[in-house]
Amino acid sequence: MSADDLRSYRQKRDFSKTAEPYGANRGGGNRFVVHKHHATADHYDLRLELDGVLKSWAVPKGPSLNPADKRLAIATEDHPIDYIDFEGVIPEGEYGGGPMIVWDTGVWAPMGDAQADIGKGAFKFRLAGEKLNGGWMLTRLKGRPEDGGKQNWLLFKERDPAMDTQVDILEARPESVKSGLHIEELVAPPPPAPAQPAKRTRPQPGKLTGAVKAPMPETLELQLASPANEPPKPSDRVNWLHEIKFDGYRTAAFVEDGTARLITRGGLDWTKRYGDLPKVFGDLPCRQALIDGEIVVLDEKGISRFGMLQDALGSGDTNRLVFYAFDLLHLDGWDLRAVPLVKRKGLLAQLLSGAVTPSSAIQYSDHVEGDGEALYEQVSELGLEGIVSKRADSPYLPGRSSNWLKIKALKTGEFVIAGYSESEKAGGIGALAAAQWVDDELVYRGKVGTGLDATTMRSLHARLEQLRVPDKLEGAPREILPVRPVLTARIQYSTITTDGMLRHAAFKGLREAELTTESTGPVQRIISDADLAGIWVTNPTRRLFGKSGPTKLDIAVYYASVGDYMLPHLFDRPVSLFRCPSSKLADCFFQRHPFTGMPQTVKAFETQNSEGEKKTFITVEDAKAYLALAQFGVVEFHVWGTHESHLDKPDRVIFDLDPGEGIAWREVVEAAVHVKGELEGMGLVPFVKTTGGKGVHVVVPITQKLGWKAMHQASSAIASQLAASARDTFVTTMGAENRKGRIFIDYHRNARSATAVAAYSLRARPHLPASTPVSWRDLESIDSPGDLNYTSLPRLLSTSGDPWAAINESCRDLQP
């Protein structure tokens, strides 16, 4: 806001009398608000956050969802960003005196260049609020002398799924979305009463039926919710409590004598990781407590956002963390797990009442009792995750049961973008073609034409143009232009029909990784222009792994693009090659030894194994050898943890974290971060990379002092120590049955001649994911390791650099 505009705004108001904001926040977001204002004349104020101010229009009759209704909108002075949350009574005699409520709020996006369109007098935009959604238009009227210099506009709804020609939204939804009050209920606040010291009543858990005198447990197996399609209906026999479903880290808080241990769902102790959050539990009026809850970060609308939680933890900004408490399982020597849930929550509310304020880092997760349909509908309107419905009379039972049900507000899935249709009118993209992988083939799931704002449409159109392929997408309409299936979109939809098509689908954003590691300097060129000019690939258009798979040339181009990053981790290391000579995955095989016709610059060397047998292996010695291997169908590179020059003195230890059945990617990340902390406690410097599959490799550079046998024994001991630090999370015994619900720490790659997939190597799967080194901070921001693939990774590396650039300077002694 300019100094003159802000001065004008302030001069109209006496801030000793009005609670309106003084105007200090510069903002920088894309929020909007519609205020309902009872002043000299009743009206509604539409305000859009733009370039540090709230662009404002007074709409006397209010907005209408009927496109036929053209409502007068009078441009008013810009307001400061702080005004967006203002609700209250402006005192009589003050400018605009009268009550004002936040009738609607949310986020908005222009369909073009906002400032230019406002200047032209034809301004299209989209709203995503609690009451107003979809496309809207402001068109400026020609000025008349009787208007007195005012800019008069017309506001009207565009024809789209959010329009409604039957409902008068002003009558149907008169309440404030902030407080729930009608404007008639808003009165000037009375003068503050003298402050009285708060009285705390210590809860008495022993009086509850089912409470058992017992010491507080050392660990807790959490109760989990089973999925359901709709909220359960109450009956004469069963009553239900319905809570908002949070998007964060499920956490058990073990509180003792003013301190707390915060334990993740997987049983990992993350107390230190949460900064000062554990200290706030010291304000609770108890000696001991075991509280079940969720750690989240809230956005400006109070909605939990997992991405914001990842950012906060990655940057160390733990002051933004909030612990939402929803169950109390132990209190001051009493085990409450057999007490009915409704009684446990009542006791929890009493425990928190003296310590919780609206700004506290601990909050009580409230609930709706009885029929949860209204809460479910409200959650759906707000775009929240969903609700959790719990039997009011149920005890706390470990594991998953039907006593707790989780109901997603709307189904949200991840679908491959397999093509698009063009539309000049819509800004380049008419609709996206959504698809899914089924048995390594793409299956078309329908078009997605809503949810794309102008900015996203332009950037996505530019990217998709670069991914165009000539092949037709089977099952898609003729107007669909196929693209390489490497981008994944989050799609919200109501259902998938019997013929496999999405219904009521809306685009919610791309799912893709971002690497934030800053380059320490220019990347040293290893592959020269002469090397690139010498690439020769026969049958370059032959597709691998099905009709929608990558071509042989795609693989060659990828390795040429990432070679400067990959080769420092590949040169001179004994290597095994995974070759795919045909388009069928079944024909792929490992090549560990020299082969007929291999490039001359691939070096063969001879060594003896532990039985004294002579074995010949291969290494990649220069860029020409590396690039030439694409001609031989090489898709994957697997390396030893040492160099040929010091073959029997390994320099890297690998802990392969391989998740068993039932372990989600987020849990693997949690486990990897825990392993990092344990290894650092041993004086080691761990690095991490994705495997290109479901797990991660934690890689530790070591000095070249131990032989293979001693190093394998040392890594075995460390793996056992890691497993002991979280027995419910890790296992070191091989076998699928042993790792069910756990993560297998595979240390057997630390034996002589054992290999692990190389840094930046592709994996032989239809979308060619890569085993990608990442920073520890970036690891937590990755939604799916498959997003790091043969098309996305070269672009990401060009801006981020190699997070393993300093790995060789981080070697430490490994204790035998």
From 353, 296, 300, select the one nearest 322 (Cα to Cα). Answer: 296
Q: For residue 45, is pLDDT > 90?
A: yes
Confidence band, pLDDT 50/70/90 cuts, at residue 68: confident
**For a pLDDT cut of 70, what percent of the chain falls above it?**
92
Q: In sequence order, what DSSP letters do the residues of 353-406 get, joined into one string? A: HTT--TT-SEEE---EES--HHHHHHHHHHT--EEEEEETT----SEEEEEEEE
Q: In sequence order, what DSSP letters do the residues of 106-129 get, joined into one string? A: EEEEESS-HHHHHHHTEEEEEEEE
Task: Decide if 767 is inside a domain.
Answer: no
Check residue 740 and give its pLDDT: 83
Query: What does the alpha-carbon distance between residue 651 and residue 646 come to, in Å, rounded to a whole number?
Result: 9
Task: Decide if 195 is inside a domain.
Answer: no
Query: What does the alpha-carbon distance between residue 443 and residue 418 come to, in Å, rounded to a whole number?
Result: 9
Tell me the CATH number at 436.
2.40.50.140
Query: What does the alpha-carbon distance between residue 288 and residue 441 come to, in Å, rounded to a whole number?
Result: 55
Check residue 439 and give its pLDDT: 77
Q: In sequence order, what DSSP letters do the residues of 290-357 get, joined into one string? A: EEEEEEE-B-TTS-B-HHHHHHHHHHT-GGG-EEEEEEEEEETTEE-TTS-HHHHHHHHHHHHHTT--
Same domain, 100 and 218: no
Task: Decide if 692 is inside a domain.
Answer: yes
From 320, 265, 319, select the one nearest 294 (Cα to Cα). Answer: 265
Tell me the CATH number at 729.
3.30.70.3300
Q: For residue 607, is pLDDT > 70?
A: yes
Q: Which of residues 187 and 93 earns the better pLDDT score?
A: 93
Query: For residue range 365-394, what is the model confidence (pLDDT) as tens digits?
Result: 988 888 888 788 777 766 678 899 999 999
- Which burial class, exposed, middle or buried, applies to 262 when counting CB atoms under 10 A from its CB (0-12, 13-18, 19+)? buried
Domain that holds residue 607: 529-646
Same domain, 90 and 213: no
CB atoms within 10 A of CB 75: 16
Same domain, 399 and 452: no
Report which DSSP code applies to 558: H
Task: Decide if 389 is inside a domain.
Answer: yes
Distances in whole angstroms, Cα of residue 726 to Cα of each of 254, 397, 400, 777: 16, 21, 21, 22
Same domain, 217 and 286: yes
Confidence band, pLDDT 50/70/90 cuts, at residue 92: confident
Confidence band, pLDDT 50/70/90 cuts, at residue 695: very high
Least confident residue range of 11-15, 60-64, 106-110: 11-15
Check residue 481 and give its pLDDT: 94
Task: Decide if 720 is inside a domain.
Answer: yes
Confidence band, pLDDT 50/70/90 cuts, at residue 721: very high
Q: For residue 5, is pLDDT > 60?
A: no
Q: For residue 314, is pLDDT > 90?
A: no
Q: For residue 339, is pLDDT > 80?
A: yes
Check residue 801 and give its pLDDT: 81
Distances in whole angstroms, Cα of residue 27 to Cα of each of 11, 82, 128, 386: 21, 8, 19, 29
Query: What does the alpha-carbon distance between residue 488 and residue 791 come to, in Å, rounded to a whole number?
Result: 12
From 295, 360, 355, select the one nearest 321 (Cα to Cα). Answer: 295
Q: For residue 133, is pLDDT > 80?
A: yes
Check residue 795 and give its pLDDT: 84
CB atoms within 10 A of CB 744: 23
> Residue 39 in contact with residue 96, Cβ under 8 Å?
yes
- The three-state secondary structure class of 174 is coil
Beta strands in 68-164 (DSSP E): 71-79, 88-90, 98-110, 122-129, 133-140, 152-157
Tell me the range of 343-352, 445-454, 576-585, 755-764 where mean pLDDT is highest. 755-764
Q: How far is CA 278 from the centre of its chain?
A: 24
Same domain, 697 and 792: yes
Query: What does the alpha-carbon distance between residue 249 and residue 565 come to, in Å, rounded to a whole number?
Result: 34
Residue located via tokens 């479903």 = 245
CA atoms within 13 A on the CB side of 154: 12
Query: What does the alpha-carbon distance between residue 415 and residue 493 come to, in Å, rounded to a whole number?
Result: 11
Same domain, 54 and 179: yes
**For a pLDDT cut of 90, what percent of the chain falls above it?**
47
> Residue 140 in contact with residue 152, Cβ under 8 Å?
yes
Q: Known catalytic residues? A: 245
Check residue 329 and give its pLDDT: 97
Task: Decide if 761 is inside a domain.
Answer: no
CB atoms within 10 A of CB 493: 21
Distances in whole angstroms, Cα of residue 252 to Cα of each of 265, 294, 676: 8, 8, 22
Q: Of 443, 478, 511, which residue sits at a domain end? A: 511
Q: Which of residues 192 and 809 earns the better pLDDT score?
A: 809
Distances in whole angstroms, Cα of residue 233 to Cα of each of 236, 366, 494: 10, 19, 21
CA dihedral 280→282→284→286, nearest 10 degrees, is 160
Task: Decide if 521 is inside a domain.
Answer: no
Task: Decide if 136 is inside a domain.
Answer: yes
- In this prediction, residues 429-436 reach a mean pLDDT of 92
Check residue 40 and give its pLDDT: 65
How high is the mean pLDDT of the chain? Answer: 86
CB atoms within 10 A of CB 25: 14
Own/partner long-range contacts of 310-317 (Cβ < 8 Å, ≥24 apart): 310/780, 310/781, 311/781, 313/273, 313/780, 314/777, 314/778, 314/780, 314/781, 315/777, 316/275
Query: What does the alpha-carbon distance between residue 483 and residue 565 come to, in Å, rounded to a whole number?
Result: 27
pTM: 0.60
What are the residues whose beta carbons fall under 8 Å from the beta carbon of 144, sequence distance 6 or more?
none
> Residue 265 in contact with residue 398, Cβ under 8 Å?
no
Q: For residue 63, is pLDDT > 70?
A: yes
Tell me the range of 336-340, 351-355, 539-543 where mean pLDDT is highest. 336-340
Same domain, 263 and 179: no
Tell me the CATH number at 307.
3.30.470.30
- Which burial class, exposed, middle or buried, applies to 310 when counting CB atoms under 10 A from its CB (0-12, 13-18, 19+)? buried
Least confident residue range of 8-12, 231-235, 773-777: 8-12
Q: For residue 655, is pLDDT > 80?
A: yes
Check residue 453 and give its pLDDT: 76
How many distinct structural domains can be found in the chain? 5
Structure tokens at 140: 């400026």
Same domain, 734 and 605: no
Check residue 17 and give its pLDDT: 65
Residue located via tokens 């030894």 = 593
Same domain, 619 and 676: no
Query: What does the alpha-carbon distance between residue 558 and residue 629 come to, in Å, rounded to a whole number?
Result: 12
Check residue 773 and give its pLDDT: 95
Q: Of 605, 629, 646, which residue sits at a domain end? A: 646
Same domain, 34 and 128: yes
Residue located via tokens 């076998």 = 735
Query: What does the alpha-carbon distance between residue 313 and residue 326 come to, in Å, rounded to a whole number?
Result: 22
The alpha helices in 133-209, defined as continuous H runs, are 169-172
Structure tokens at 653: 């230890």
Tell me the range of 5-9, 235-239, 310-314, 472-476 where mean pLDDT is highest. 472-476
Query: For residue range 357-367, what is the model confidence (pLDDT) as tens digits?
Result: 777 899 999 88
Q: Which of residues 665 and 143 earns the better pLDDT score?
A: 665
Same domain, 81 and 116: yes
Check residue 183 and give its pLDDT: 85
What are the residues whose beta carbons fall under 8 Å from the beta carbon of 2, sequence distance 6 or more?
none
Q: Which stretch of DSSP H or E encloses residue 547?
A: none
Check residue 532 and give its pLDDT: 75
Check residue 288 and give its pLDDT: 94
Q: For residue 103, is pLDDT > 90?
A: yes
> Residue 759 in contact with residue 485, Cβ under 8 Å?
no
Least confident residue range of 90-94, 393-397, 547-551, 806-810: 90-94
Q: For residue 2, is pLDDT > 50?
A: no
Q: Which of residues 426 and 500 earns the better pLDDT score?
A: 500
Same domain, 22 and 73: yes
Q: Of 597, 613, 646, which residue sits at a domain end? A: 646
